């Protein structure tokens, strides 16, 4: 995962198509085509914990965990990349801007918010002065627990029960979790709801 995320960043800089690179790598039977999708970082209860545990075990045993250290460092940096893209368009001061965020859980099919990249993004957006209108098909209730209550009471962060309603008057849409329902959305409705049509796709959907 971290390797593909790093290659995706390289592709973005040199104008290569990460999807074509992924397909090429996947043709090697020793590697296979699964788990080669670049994105905005991994989360959950297993990968982060296990990588950290192996790093700790290696250091305790006197082994320098160079690859594992790099995996951890790349994943943490990857979670910040979406905010970097947003700053490159709007600058560091996001005051007055509204961002719709689709997908909050660390992966589709769960409400698990542990180590979710969406938490890093939303924290960065609000601290930069933006408002966030968030939607996840199952993780809204868990997501509420991850943020200061005053952000919600002051409407800096609003959770919606419908993905299109979350787009109302937004300046940009940020897709953070690859739920199937986000693969073929109605572009007509998106255009009607959003103030400006701008999409940051964190999962190459």
**Which of the residues are catalytic?**
46
Give the number of other Cβ atoms within 10 Å of residue 46's Cβ.
Answer: 11
**Alpha helix segments (H runs only) across the chain:** 2-14, 18-26, 47-60, 66-90, 117-127, 140-144, 149-153, 187-193
Burial 9-30 (b: 16+ CB within 10 A, else e): bebeeeeeebeebbeeeeeeee
CA 67 centroid distance within chain: 23
CA dist list (Å): 7 to 10, 25, 67, 78, 118? 5, 11, 15, 12, 21
Contact 141, 126 (CB under 8 A): no
Contact 42, 4 (CB under 8 A): no
Q: Residue 131 burial by CB count (10 A; 0-12/13-18/19+): exposed, middle or buried?
A: buried
Tokens 């509204």 correspond to what residue?
A: 98
């Amino acid at each position: 995962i971290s390797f593909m995320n790093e290659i995706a960043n390289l592709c973005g800089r040199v104008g290569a198509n990460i999807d074509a690179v992924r397909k090429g790598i996947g043709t090697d039977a020793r590697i296979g085509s699964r788990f080669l999708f670049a994105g905005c970082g991994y989360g959950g209860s297993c990968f982060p914990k296990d990588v950290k545990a192996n790093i700790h075990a290696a250091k305790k045993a006197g082994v320098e965990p160079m690859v594992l250290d790099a995996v951890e460092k790349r994943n943490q940096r990857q979670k910040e990349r979406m905010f970097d893209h947003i700053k490159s368009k709007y600058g560091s001061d996001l005051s007055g801007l509204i961002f719709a965020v689709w997908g909050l859980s660390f992966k589709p099919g769960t409400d698990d918010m542990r180590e979710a990249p969406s938490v890093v993004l939303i924290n960065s957006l609000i601290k930069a002065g933006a408002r966030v209108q968030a939607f996840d098909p199952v993780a809204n209730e868990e997501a509420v627990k991850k943020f200061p209550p005053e952000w919600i009471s002051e409407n800096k962060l609003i959770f919606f029960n419908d993905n299109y309603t979350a787009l109302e008057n937004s300046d940009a849409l940020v897709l953070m979790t690859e739920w199937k329902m986000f693969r073929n959305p109605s572009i007509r409705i998106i255009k009607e709801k959003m103030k400006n049509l701008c999409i940051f796709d964190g999962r190459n959907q």
